[in-house]
C-alpha cells in the first residue's frame, strides 16, 4: 500500500486514456450497467478532465470524483462560480480505508485554489456529505396526479398565449430563452451551455423503459416563448381500458399564465390515468393554481447541497431580504480559512432587489455559533436558520440573532435545481 499525505492512496487527475478505469469505479459503486456508446458520448461531452480526481492503487483507480464548472444563481439576480461535484464513487473492496475522505478534502482544496466560493452537489446518500461541510440547501416536491384531478381554478388568462408541440432538438433555442429567464430570478439553478442542453434532451431508446420518445410542448406568444415542458408517455392498456402514464421531465415557465397553460394541457391529456411531475420547486405555482392541491400527493426530497468554500466571498456575493448585522462564529475543520468570527452586515439596496452586504473578520462577541455545514444549508434561503437553531445545530448567543439572520437569508422564489448532475 502506497501512503501519501492525502490518504492511503495517491490522488491525482486522470489522463484521457484512463477514462475506462474511472467509469468502471462509478459502475461498481452504483451497481449500474456498462455505459452505452450514447451514454459515453453525452457524458464526455460535459467532462472536464482537468477537474477529475482519482485515488490509485498502483495504476488502478479505486476511488473517483469530478467537478463541473458552473455559474450558479444565488439570491438577488446574482451568479457566482460554483463547482458541481459529481462522480463520487469508491470501489466496494476499498471502502472504509479513507479513500473518500482523501478525495473530498483534495477536491475542496482544488475548488478553493480555483477561486470558486461554492461547491454544490446532489447527494446519493444523505449521511455522507455533512462531514465534508455540505448542507441541504434546497428541496423539491414530486407530484403524482390521476385522471380528472388536474383541474385549475382561478388560473391567469393566457393573453395571446398559444401552445405548440415541437421536436425537442429543433426547439432548443426557444427552450434556452425560457430557461435563462427563469434562471435570472430563481436561486439554485445553473447556467447551461450547449453540452448541458444536449444532456437535458438526451433520450436513448434503450433507456425509455417502454415510454414514448421525449416530446416538447411550447407556450409562446407572437413575440417570444414563455414556457415549455419536456415529457414522455407510456402506452399501457388492460383490455380496452387505458392505463397510460405521462411523466414530465422538465417544465419551465417565465410567468404564471404560461405555467397554467402548460399544466392545463398536460394534466388533461386523453387516455392517461396518471401524471407524474418529479423534481418540482416547493413553491411551484401548480400548488396554488389547482382546484384541489391535495391531489398532487407531494413527496418532499432534498435537492441541492451547498458547501461554502470561500466564506466572505460567498456571503457577500448574494443579496439579503432585510437588514442584518450579526457576528458569526464559524467552525470549519477542512478549510480553516473559513473558521473564526465574521461580521455580516447589509449595506445598500442592490440593483434587482434586496440588500448588498459585507462580510469581514470580527473581534467582537459572536451572536451565533455554527458549523460551515449549517451555513451552507441556509445559504440559498431554502433551509430556515431558525429550524437549524431549534434542532440544536446552531447556537444563539444573542437573543433575537437567529430571527434576524433567518429573515435576511430567506428569498422568493425558493431555491431549486431542476436537473441532477
Catalytic hit among 129, 143, 275, 320? 129
- What helix, strand, coil percent values describe the chain, rounded to 5? 30, 35, 35
Nearest to 420 by CA among 65, 66, 86, 26: 86
How many other C-beta atoms can be found within 10 angstroms of the C-beta atom of residue 55? 29
Alpha-carbon distance values, 232 to 204, 205, 248 (Å): 13, 12, 7
How far apart (Å, rounded) are the C-alpha atoms in residues 381 and 321?
10
CA 124 – CA 109 distance, rounded (Å): 22
| DSSP-assigned beta bridge partners for residue 233 | 246
For the sheet containing 340-349, what is the strand order?
A: 355-361, 340-349, 325-331, 368-371, 394-396
Cβ–Cβ contacts within 10 Å for residue 384, how many?
16
Closest CA to 105 of 286, 315, 335: 335
Adjacent-strand bridge partners of 131: none
What are the angstrom distances between the C-alpha of 350 and each of 40, 359, 367? 44, 16, 25
Give the separation between CA 382 and CA 137, rounded to whole angstroms: 6
Q: Could you tell me which residues are beta bridge partners of residue 360?
A: 343
Of how many residues is the chain composed?
Answer: 421
The span from the CA of 230 to the CA of 218, in Å, is 9
Torsion over CA: 224, 229, 235, 239 (sign)? negative
- Kindly tell me the burial class for residue 151, based on how many C-beta atoms sit within 10 Å of its own C-beta (0-12, 13-18, 19 or more): middle
- Per-residue burial over 107-143, b if 16 or more Cβ lie within 10 Å, else e, is bbebbbeeebbbbbbbbeeeeebbebbbbbbbbbbeb
**For residue 260, how far is the Cα from the chain centroid?**
24
421 is catalytic: yes
Element (H, E) at 111: helix 99-113
Give catalytic status of residue 129 as yes or no.
yes
Active-site positions read 129, 421
Amino acid at each position: 500500500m502506497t501512503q501519501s499525505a492525502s490518504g492511503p492512496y495517491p490522488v491525482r487527475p486522470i489522463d484521457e486514456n484512463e477514462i475506462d478505469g474511472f467509469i468502471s469505479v462509478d459502475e461498481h459503486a452504483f451497481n449500474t450497467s456498462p455505459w452505452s456508446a450514447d451514454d459515453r458520448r453525452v457524458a464526455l461531452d460535459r467532462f472536464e478532465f482537468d477537474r477529475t480526481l482519482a485515488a490509485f492503487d498502483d495504476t488502478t483507480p479505486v476511488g473517483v470524483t469530478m467537478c463541473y464548472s458552473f455559474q450558479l444563481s444565488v439570491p438577488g439576480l446574482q451568479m457566482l462560480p460554483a463547482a458541481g461535484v459529481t462522480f463520487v464513487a469508491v470501489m466496494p473492496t476499498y471502502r472504509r480505508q479513507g479513500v473518500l475522505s482523501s478525495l473530498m478534502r483534495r477536491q475542496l482544496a482544488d475548488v478553493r485554489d480555483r477561486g470558486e466560493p461554492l461547491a454544490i452537489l446532489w447527494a446519493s446518500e444523505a449521511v455522507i456529505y455533512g462531514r465534508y461541510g455540505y448542507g441541504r440547501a434546497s428541496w423539491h416536491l414530486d407530484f403524482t396526479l390521476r385522471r380528472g384531478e388536474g383541474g385549475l381554478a382561478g388560473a391567469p388568462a393566457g393573453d395571446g398565449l398559444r401552445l405548440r408541440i415541437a421536436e425537442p432538438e429543433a426547439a432548443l433555442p426557444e427552450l434556452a430563452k425560457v430557461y435563462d429567464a427563469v434562471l435570472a430570478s430563481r436561486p439554485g439553478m445553473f447556467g447551461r451551455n450547449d453540452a448541458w442542453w444536449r444532456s437535458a434532451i438526451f433520450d436513448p431508446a434503450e433507456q425509455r423503459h417502454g415510454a414514448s420518445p421525449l416530446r416538447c410542448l411550447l407556450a409562446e406568444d407572437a413575440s417570444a416563448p414563455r414556457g415549455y415542458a419536456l415529457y414522455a408517455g407510456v402506452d399501457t392498456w388492460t383490455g380496452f381500458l387505458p392505463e397510460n402514464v405521462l411523466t414530465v421531465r422538465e417544465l419551465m415557465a417565465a410567468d404564471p399564465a404560461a405555467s397554467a397553460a402548460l399544466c392545463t394541457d398536460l394534466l388533461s391529456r386523453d387516455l392517461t390515468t396518471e401524471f407524474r411531475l418529479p423534481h418540482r420547486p416547493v413553491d411551484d405555482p401548480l400548488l396554488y393554481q389547482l382546484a384541489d392541491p391535495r391531489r398532487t400527493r407531494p413527496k418532499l426530497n432534498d435537492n441541492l447541497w451547498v458547501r461554502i468554500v470561500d466564506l466572505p466571498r460567498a456571503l457577500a456575493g448574494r443579496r439579503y431580504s432585510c437588514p442584518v448585522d450579526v457576528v458569526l462564529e464559524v467552525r470549519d475543520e477542512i478549510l480553516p480559512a473559513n473558521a473564526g468570527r465574521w461580521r455580516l452586515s447589509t449595506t445598500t439596496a442592490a440593483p434587482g432587489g434586496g440588500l448588498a452586504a459585507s462580510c469581514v473578520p470580527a473581534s467582537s462577541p459572536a451572536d451565533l455559533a455554527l458549523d460551515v455545514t449549517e451555513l451552507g444549508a441556509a445559504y440559498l434561503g431554502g433551509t430556515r436558520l431558525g429550524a437549524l437553531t431549534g434542532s440544536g445545530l446552531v447556537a444563539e448567543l444573542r437573543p433575537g440573532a437567529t430571527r434576524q439572520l433567518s429573515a435576511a437569508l430567506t428569498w422568493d422564489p425558493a431555491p431549486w435545481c431542476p436537473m441532477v448532475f
